Structure 1
Amino acid sequence: MPAYCEGMNQAHPHASHHGHHGHHQEHDDAGQAEILDLDAEILAEHTASITGWLPLKTDPRQIVDLGCGTGAGTFALLDRFPDAHVIAVDASVGHLQRLREKARALGLEERVRTVQADLDDTAWPDLGSPDLVWASASMHHMADPEHTLRAVHGVLAPGGLFCVVELAGFPRFLPENAPEDRPGLEERLHAVTDRLHAEHMPHRGADWGPMLTAAGFTIEAERTITVNIEGSHNEAIGRYALNSLQRIRGAAAPELSPEDLAALDRLLDTGGPHNIAHRDDLTVRTVWATRRP
């Protein structure tokens, strides 16, 4: 019976791995790509710890990265398993192009094949018979995750592993008493986006265990990783916080009080004295809880 490991990984609230296409989508892809690249840079050590922990008896030779984005998981897996080849699957043409450019720059293009596909489609592309399927922060975007789980179960090689890395919560950056003029602003922002995501992504935060068991996977153990990265000496964390809150603003602005919106705009004003990227008290805080077969 195929096994799976389940983890929880923070990702940007609007980093979708499937959806509509067109000019707006291409523009949105560019913004998502920047966030995903920052995500990969800042959390590289933690991603590597998960790939290193995967309970595999032998190293996989064929890997599928479902909802690969710009390749954080793809390149971590290629590094962890030097003899493996990865099929990187995403709906975004822009994300896949960026992934291919990275692969060429790293001399890894022979070990990566990209496939553009909407994983909610009834018919999936030919993904071979992989030894490992990796899905990081993508399962909760599926309109019909049960269909996706059955499809993964159907393509996995005998004894193969399915690793689901899912959301425990979006990252927090500011201290609880910040900003000084509107303490608790960040939590209020997330309360708004949590409500919006409950409407549009009902599977975010789902209990994946019963759905995975129903699809034929086995569950055995769990661990938790607490991510707490101090940002005072890491310029990338300032950019990460700025980009994250800019995108949250786009969704949350209509629901915010005028005072909270004004305070948020002061944090996002790149030319102003209160810009979040210039703070010396930023921290990336989140939790990963990981199950293994």
Structure 2
Amino acid sequence: MPVCQLNLFPGETTVIWVSIDVPSEQTPGQYEGEIIISASKAEAESTNQSLSKLEKHQLYRELRDCLDTVEPLEGKPLEEVVERVKSATSSLRRVLLSPLFSDFFSDNGPIDMMEEDAISSLSIRLKISLTVWDFVLPATPSVPTVIGISDTVIEDRFGVEHGSNEWFELLDQHFKWLLQYRISPYFCRWGNGMRVLTYTSPWPADHPKSDEYFSDPRLAAYAVPNGPIVPCGDTAKDYLRREVEILRTKKHWRKAYFYLWDEFRVKYPPVCSWESGTWSLLFLIS
């Protein structure tokens, strides 16, 4: 299994998602293993290990003031000696509690270095059990399952600009991640009146990446956009016509579908019309 590292501060928790990919040729049976979680104390930051010239001078002045406070004590009254010792003690405590020495103290006092090393190298072993059954899931799901991802959410979360190289890369990562679980993703961008621009590939139909997406046997269905995904100067009608003309020549055309509105209501039954050898459906939306 791969090795990964998580950085956590004291008191923090996190969730770990473990996925186990089983090869199709794996022999059926029961498999057991372990996941080892080890805690290791990170090295102190360089900012804590080295001091600037100003910080060194400040530390020097505080230590020097302590000496100046306690050295001339001979012949002084007891009350003055006590006050000088209290002042020096306060200054020394302030120095010792500074971030420079934070690695050597805890809430309960000084840490024994041997004890700290033992705690920081603690390992937990989690036993896992995996059953491999004697069947193989088909490459193409028998029931097409699709899931929509808002491209604006991706843009906001990762801080990328629509149509940028980083944007295409992120959509590609989301597509591949879902496809490995036999889920056919589509991306969407909302418009007015619950109208939605949906597309499975952010690239035009004549782009090699689109053909790679649509030809993948794990993809059960793909959404054909009804307009440009990235502004290109074409009208929605011209863009859609060109996309359909290209995709209709492909073997994967049977996977195509259109998704134009979300949760629309049909007020009247659809009206069918025949024009130039093509059936058309007219919906009256309320």
TM-score by length of 2: 0.24
Higher relative contact order (CA 8 A, sep 6+): 1
- Computing the radius of gyration from Cα coordinates, the structure with the larger value is 2
More helix by share: 1
